[in-house]
Homo-oligomer: A and B are copies of this chain.
Amino acid sequence: MSIAIENFVKAIYKNGKRDNNDTKPGNIAKELGISNAAATDMAKKLAVKDLLHYKKYQELKLTDKGTKMALNVVRKHRLWEALLFKLFDLSLHDIHREAELLEHQTSDLLANKISEYLGNPKFDPHGDPIPNAKGEITTTDTSISLSNAKEGKTYVISRLMSDDKEFFDFCAQHGLKYGNTILVSKQFSKNKMTQTLINNNTILLNKDFTSIIYVNEHH
């Protein structure tokens, strides 16, 4: 299967996992940087290949086969991130960018070798779970999105769920790093803004960011 197909299936999988859960062609198109028309075209094509269910104007839903493919790509992506993170001094953003390419050129054999070398890790440096060779995911992730965090509570950042350079630059700048502790000082439920305290600095995060930053309660 082609890189375009792998990326398409992966985008649906990831979008389906998010808050909004919008897997209509337009959303996938935006994610992949292609036109809506191209996304519709591809959706029809993949329906024929039994990778997804397609009904006009409806959400795209992966079949079992499509989900399996998405999980396989995600597995390779996260294994590469874990390996590159371990071996080289590169930023999480750089590592993500490399993994984004390598994931499509990696045999199952090599993926297994990488996993074995790393001691079969269950989470990548972003805190995201790494599916195993069968596509199974460890779901003991108790984290919640920062947009659902409670005022006055302290949390530990467990995932920075994004591929966007700007986002990672922003994170690096403000101490929003995997494992760091933050205090949610104020939560504006209406427009989903969140005011947090990190290293004694108060920062305001809008919904775009709070919905992709995941945290665990700090005990």
Partner of A102, one of B87, B94, B102: B102
Asked if A117 is at the interface (CB within 8 A of a chain B CB), the reply is: yes
Judged by a CB distance under 8 angstroms, whether A90 is at the interface is yes
Task: Classify the secondary structure of A's interface with B.
Answer: helix
Q: Is A169 an interface residue (CB 8 A)?
A: no
Query: A98 interface residue, CB < 8 Å from B?
Result: yes
Residues of A within 8 A of B (CB): 84, 87-90, 94, 97-98, 101-102, 104-107, 109-110, 113-114, 117
Query: A104-B105, A105-B105 are contacts. A98–B117 as well, Cβ < 8 Å?
Result: no
B105 engages A89 (CB within 8 Å): no
For residue A105, which residues in chain B have a CB less than 8 angstroms away from its CB?
A: 101-102, 104-105
- Indicate if the CB atoms of B102 and A90 lie closer than 8 Å: no
Chain B residues with CB below 8 A from A117, complex form: 87-88
Q: In the assembled complex, how far is the CB of residue A76 from the closest CB belonging to chain B, in whole angstroms?
A: 12
Q: Is the pair B90, A113 in contact by a Cβ cutoff of 8 Å?
A: yes
Given contacts A84-B110, A87-B113, A102-B102, 16 further A-B pairs with CB under 8 A are A87-B117, A88-B110, A88-B114, A88-B117, A89-B113, A90-B110, A94-B109, A98-B106, A98-B107, A98-B110, A101-B105, A101-B106, A102-B105, A102-B106, A104-B105, A105-B105
Question: What is the distance, in angstroms, from A121's C-beta to the closest C-beta of chain B?
Answer: 15
